[in-house]
Chains A and B, each alone.
Chain A
């Protein structure tokens, strides 16, 4: 078996036994990146030199029998939204194109401490806003299974890098489905942890009450390995929870007994692609053959989840992104040109005798903010800032934002009630098995509806995992989503592992030539 076909778990065993070196593993993955990434576009930057230096250091320490970390020698691709000290972190935005992070995010610090080989930074929708990676200011990420389709998003680069064997493990973030949806579309395993389980410190904020960092891998076993490395309480994140971090990758071998799986009535309605429906139902039958009981449950407010999400997330985003002011860091507009423009406008208004308009003209500082932000942000980010500002503005706050917070509680209560009867909720990850690049680019609302099956988990704060459960006729992967009560990541991982022991969908590899 070639190095890139091995799981991270197998590679770790080989590395410990010294039958392979970290340099060999890193070189194998760098070769795949060199061969395929011009077509896929998963990475924004690849750090071959840094990765090889780290790999050499680990090999040396292993040769000297010195202690090494939990992921020593395993390449990990990181979504370009987590700060890594001294390195550029762009969030796929022009506004941060030249921003170098002054500190490590907790997740990156933990990866470094675990001796992971940080191989490169992956593409995303700008500031993680989107479901297709088409909103990156730099390039689109193509789906390795069909290059005319998008990889999903916003963690599309991380998903594609794992699917195309350009990294064994990757870090993603999930605010409304941004780990699970691209994992489904790219045929890999992606887990969104319970809110508060993984530190958000140093993760560039999009919607702070929803954002979570999580693992992306080819198998549940590997996702377990990565999750146990990055999870846990962090005093630097005041929303981080004192939750225990069990040894997920050890416990995963233990199958779940007496499992009851809930099927959400509302998830199988009109709009669900027939091939996805069939693959998900086949997957449920596999769980039944493994001893699980299946029960229908209802999440009556799930049809309001997208509307609720598209009030709360943009509201938080409009507030979080106020920090990009062109003054402290990031892009600033050309000042001389900006002042000349203002001057010309003032003179024109005065010449026309419009004193009122001249008096209302932006001050130089306000114009600097407005021009810097308008030139630095892409269309989707502007749209969400506008939507959030509108929803929070005087006269609309109660009707939109406060209303959405109330519906959010109803959505959470639906889950609490459902989990009284079932251990896990299973359903599709996306309504269809793949979407063409550009297909929905001009219709933001149609794009938002792609999040239908994933946003509820973020609103409720619960965990979810997605992994492949079949392929469409056209050869695109179909994802199954499992959701569990808060802090039951162990249950999600073990359930996914049971499935992956019984099936081989997760071992399929896209034919990139």
Chain B
């Protein structure tokens, strides 16, 4: 199956990426080739097979609910592109 440029553009929004015209063009061709290859899985009958999400099928790994020290806020904010010492700063989210 080949993807259309419109589909690729829609996926780029879902993925929070922004692709140039040239990138959209290349991505459409390349993703179509990869998806075409992947579609060989359709020839397998898997109706009775349970999906395997993990190699080690562990379930409900709990720990005791105890307070433990974590990284200081100042250290976490040190990597922020923009912060005011307490919070991360981002462009205005609500309209004016």
Please list the residues of chain A having a beta carbon within 8 angstroms of any beta carbon in chain B. Answer: 99-100, 102-103, 194-196, 209-210, 235, 238-239, 241, 301, 304, 306-308, 310-311, 318, 322, 325-332, 335, 338-339, 363-371, 373-374, 377, 382-383, 385-387, 389-390, 393, 399-400, 402-410, 412, 444-445, 448, 458-462
Give the distance to chain B from A211, nearest Cβ to Cβ, in Å: 11
Task: Given A365-B90, A409-B49, verify A239-B54 contact (CB < 8 Å).
Answer: yes
Which chain B positions have C-beta within 8 A of A330?
Answer: 79, 81
Which chain B positions have C-beta within 8 A of A318?
Answer: 15
A462 to B56, CA, bound (A): 10
Q: Which residue of A lies closest to B51 (CB)?
A: A405
Which chain B positions have C-beta within 8 A of A310?
Answer: 34, 37-38
Q: Is the CB of A102 within 8 A of B90?
A: no
Q: Is the CB of B56 within 8 A of A239?
A: yes
Task: Given A329-B80, A374-B17, verify A364-B34 contact (CB < 8 Å).
Answer: no
For this complex, 18 residue pairs linking A to B, each with C-beta atoms less than 8 Å apart, are: A196-B55, A235-B63, A365-B91, A371-B18, A386-B15, A387-B35, A389-B11, A390-B3, A393-B14, A404-B41, A405-B51, A408-B52, A410-B46, A444-B33, A445-B33, A445-B34, A445-B37, A460-B55
Which chain B positions have C-beta within 8 A of A239?
Answer: 54, 56, 58, 61
Q: Which residue of A lies closest to B50 (CB)?
A: A409
Q: Which residue of A lies closest to B20 (CB)?
A: A374
Please report which residues of chain B, range 1-43, place their CB below 8 angstroms from some CB of chain A when the two chains form the complex: 3, 7-8, 11-19, 23, 27, 30-31, 33-35, 37-42
A364 to B90, CA, bound (A): 9
A363 to B28, CA, bound (A): 25
Q: Is the CB of A387 within 8 A of B34?
A: yes
Give the distance to chain A from B92, nearest Cβ to Cβ, in Å: 6
- Residue from the list A329, A393, A406 in contact with B81, Cβ < 8 A: A329
A335 to B82, CA, bound (A): 10
Q: Which residue of B lies closest to A462 (CB)?
A: B55
- Interface size range on B against A: 35 or more
Which chain A positions have C-beta within 8 A of B33?
Answer: 444-445
Which chain A positions have C-beta within 8 A of B8?
Answer: 386
B53 within 8 A of A: yes
Q: Is the CB of B76 within 8 A of A102?
A: yes
Which chain A positions have C-beta within 8 A of B67?
Answer: none
A377 to B55, CA, bound (A): 29
Q: Is the CB of B31 within 8 A of A387?
A: yes
Closest 7 CB pairs of A and B: A461-B55, A405-B51, A332-B81, A329-B79, A409-B52, A406-B46, A370-B18
Q: Is the CB of B18 within 8 A of A241?
A: no
Q: Is the CB of A373 within 8 A of B31?
A: no
Give the distance to chain B from A233, nearest Cβ to Cβ, in Å: 11
A338 to B91, CA, bound (A): 10
Q: Which residue of B lies closest to A411 (CB)?
A: B52
Q: Is the CB of B15 within 8 A of A389?
A: yes
